[in-house]
Structure 1
Amino acid sequence: MKKKYFILNSLIILIFTILSSKLYAQNEAEIFPKIKATVGIVHPLVTFTSGETTTNFKDHYVVGMPIAINVWKNKTIGFSFEIVPTIRSDKEISKVNNVLIHPGILVRLKNDFTFAGRMAFETSGRYGFTPVLSKAIGIHEDYNYYISVPLPTRFGNDKPPSLTLGLQFGISF
């Protein structure tokens, strides 16, 4: 009698497990276009201009908060529209000192890397481009964490050209 109950209970547990778990043997085909969003924090680390190097965290602190909508045409190519308000704080004041409008093309690479080639239009009067290399570091079914290295290159507004190295962390969903 105990053997029958053991077998019956084992079958019920097995059926319940099969019915309640997600089966990954046959993945559903992805449907494109696919819309994703990202939010993050970007820290410009060091900026190089003609004859001058400026570092963040020394005399001031600058942080940006990128917010983007990404439209993937297929698995490898997409369009992104990003807006980045930037806050600058020093010993006297903290304020939003710039808003960056940042449209661009996304190219998904191997090993969870993505390249973004972005145009840059700043409310401070500067313009240019920003190549960005991103890596998904925490991949989940509904969201991913990522780390990025942006290299903003800027011109205009009666200032010398500049190149900045930044570090960005965020989540895409």
Structure 2
Amino acid sequence: MRTFTRIAFFQLLSLGFFMRSGTVSAQDSPPVYPRIAGYVGILHPLVTFSSDGTVTNFKDYYIGGLPTGINIWKSPKIGFSVEIVPLVRAENGTSKVSNLLFHPGVLVNLGHGFTFAGRAAFETAGRYGFTPVLNKIVKKNKNSGYFVAVPIPVRFGNDHPASVTLGFQFGLAF
């Protein structure tokens, strides 16, 4: 449990650093496209379903991710995103980076602060697949915004059965 506490502290410290770091000043005029935005977050896979059974995070181990990405909006409605997610696993008093996820995808602005991201997924652990993500800006500031997201990773390959995971993510877009 001590390792879990260290990882959670590191994640909160990292998010705090990015929240306090300098931001680009906002313009009073409407955004010009293409427009580039970045983000950082904390990802918690909650439960995974496969033919091997149901596995929950936080029970026998903890896995957490630190997604970092860049969004390139072509217009107010459509964009491209690329995300890198290192995943850290803490178990039996030790922790290690267990996987690195490369996550490119398409963004669709759904309005009212909601965005859909359809992402391809390529993992260093040998798995691949796709991840639909529903994202919501919950607080918009002058130069940044806080968001929550629900990713649903679907994975195949590496001699494991297909799986579907439900996750929770929150972070800061700037």
TM range (shorter): 0.7 to 0.9
Flag structure 1 segments of 5+ consecutive residues without an equivalent: 1-26
Counterpart of 2:37 in structure 1 is 36
Normalized against structure 2, the TM-score is what?
Answer: 0.83
Counterpart residue type for residue 78 of structure 1 = G
- Residue 61, structure 1, aligned to residue 62, structure 2: yes
Q: Deviations over 1:41-60 (max 9, x none)?
A: 00000000114000000000
The correspondence of residues 138-153 of structure 1 with structure 2, limited to 5 A, is: 138-153=139-154
Aligned mates of 2:93, 2:67 — CA distance in 1: 25
Counterpart of 1:72 in structure 2 is 73
Counterpart residue type for residue 34 of structure 1 = R
Counterpart of 1:15 in structure 2 is none
Counterpart residue type for residue 151 of structure 1 = I
Aligned mates of 1:39, 1:28 — CA distance in 2: 26
- TM-superposed deviation, 1:121: 0.1
Between Structure 1 and Structure 2, whose CA radius of gyration is higher?
1
Q: Deviations over 1:113-160 (max 9, x none)?
A: 000000000000000000000000011121000000000000000000
Give secondary structure in 2 for the equivalent of 1:109: strand
What is the total number of aligned residue pairs between the two structures? 147
- Residue 84, structure 1, aligned to residue 79, structure 2: no
Fraction of identical pairs, as percent: 56
Counterpart of 1:166 in structure 2 is 167
- Residue 132, structure 1, aligned to residue 138, structure 2: no
Counterpart residue type for residue 100 of structure 1 = L
Give secondary structure in 2 for the equivalent of 1:171: strand
Greater relative CO (CA pairs within 8 A, separation 6+): 2
Aligned mates of 2:155, 2:65 — CA distance in 1: 16
8 Å CA contact 2:52–2:161 kept in 1: the answer is no
Normalized against structure 1, the TM-score is what?
Answer: 0.83
Counterpart residue type for residue 154 of structure 1 = R
Aligned mates of 1:157, 1:92 — CA distance in 2: 27
- TM-superposed deviation, 1:62: 0.3
- TM-superposed deviation, 1:61: 0.2
Counterpart residue type for residue 90 of structure 1 = E
Give secondary structure in 1 for the equivalent of 2:159: coil
Deviating beyond 3 angstroms after TM superposition, the runs of 4 or more aligned structure 1 residues are: none
Aligned mates of 2:30, 2:97 — CA distance in 1: 43
